[in-house]
Amino acid sequence: MILRLIGAGFLLARCCLAQTPQPKTAAASPAAAQPKFVMADVHVSTTPHNAVQSFGGVVRNGRYVDRDETMLQLIEGAYGVDEDNVGGGPGWVSSDLFDVIARVPDGTTSAQAKLMVQTLLADRFRLVLGHDTRPLPRYVLSVDKGGSKLKPAAGSGEPECVPQQQAGGRGNPGDPASIPNIKMNCRNMTPADIATNLRQMAGGYLDHAVVDSTKLDGVWDFDLEWTGRGQLAAKGADGISIFDAVSKQLGLKLELQNVPLPALAIVSVNRTPTPNAPGVADQLTEAPPRFEAAAIKPADPDKPGLTGIIYQGGSQMQAGGTLSQMIAMALRIAPNVAGDTIIGLPKSATSDRWAITAKIPTTGEGALNGSGKSAQPPPLSVALEMLYGTLLEKFELKTHTENREVTVYALTLTGGKPKMTKAEDSERAGCKPDPNAPKPFTKIQTMISCKNTTMGELAENAEQMANAYVDHPVVDGTGLEGGWDFLMGWTPKGQLQAQQADDPDGVSFFDAIEKELGLKLVKQKKSIPVIVVDHVDEKPIE
């Protein structure tokens, strides 16, 4: 399990289906005798979307904690359904983030906690759900015309898919065609396991769950090789999509179909939870999460350095980068704009690279959820809080926030009307890759589909999704209100720089904003909140 490398890419908000018809059956609500939390602090999360990666609620030490979750994710966890099995409701249910911290009775199980969350959603958000059956898009896995090429499992054991090292190493990120194919060695897999793992392994292609319809029995072994979605266009005839790989190598096929499935429908829900009881938040407050131990050393200059934070399994987590990059990550700032938003660092903070090896605590919010192979790391926002604590202690970091005039990119209109569509309030808000969207230029790897997205959200997202291009903070100056629907794609900067100057098939992020959305990024000076460093040591305390 890897925590997303903040600053290494845009964290796409989850997005689901548009509003569905009202449920045909009576609304479902928790039974009167259903268990409740002893007390609960429910509030809007302060975590920016670029630092969101959560793994669901955790029952630990008499507390239930679930941070940085959308309403859809809260419903998903409480009722045990996938997000796109929940229809209806307003657009914000897929974008607004909430924290739930509660006290539970001794001996409360995870299953009982889910029932308590159901009660909490009904009480605090006035959530009313209905049962329904509706067609949902799913990739249906079936046997191809020539028959299955799967091999009966040669041994016994747990089902697993292990990546195989490919010739050519990692390739050159600036040249997608040089990046080797993905090759997996899978053993002891039932057809249901195959369906689940295909979605996990090839998420760039498969934007919906995979349903097993092979009618095969038994346990199977197979090898599978395909080209990553981002490299498929660059490899041309040498590339192989996951659909072709499944057909040619496994004798199976993947087809996108509408499958009638049981679903929940949001009948009504409040955007703002009812207020906490007086003093509840204080009673549930704990000390900030901190690593149990952390060692810092200079990064090896002869090896590619880590810029980010990752969970490596067991109790170990690693972080790395320059001091400027690590401070930016810890404060949830895109490292590519840290030069304008973090003021007062010494020169060494942008040149000297550091490597941190840390031990996750055994208790508290920073602890693992579960054990063994099923263990989940803490939410990304909690991991970053632990990284921040390490910087405070080891580098004696002291900061304050104030407004200063800095260089920004202002997002503005190029004409009277944008090349975007005004969104319906009921559309699920968020952005995600759309592998099937038409591309306005051939050298675009992936199109991003955004629904019900405000211009403020687009400005915030631009710092993440185009971090190779955007080197200053982005602010909204369009004057456009509400949510918008749009598609956009651009050529990765490394690939664009490698092309001939007269190649008409590539497009920079700045040109994409203008040509595809009717907007423009204009460099100017503007007063915005920044982090001012009052003190920091250039080397960590031993």
User: Burial level of 476, CB count in 10 A (0-12/13-18/19+)?
Assistant: middle
Evaluate whether 528 touches 473 at the Cβ level (below 8 Å): yes
- Which run of H or E residues covers position 27? strand 27-28
Residue 126, pLDDT > 80, answer: yes
Residue 346's pLDDT is 96
B/e letters for 157-194, b = 16+ CB within 10 Å, e = fewer, are eebebeeeeeeeeeeeeeebeebbbbebebbbbbbebb
Predicted confidence band of residue 193 (pLDDT cuts 50, 70, 90): very high
> What is the model's pTM?
0.78
Instruction: Read off the pLDDT of each residue in 384-413 and give the average, rounded to a whole number.
Output: 96
- Which run of H or E residues covers position 59? strand 58-60
CA distance readout (Å), 38 to 41, 64, 78: 11, 10, 17
Average pLDDT score over the chain: 87
**pLDDT tens-digit profile of 335-368?**
899 999 999 999 999 999 999 999 999 988 899 8
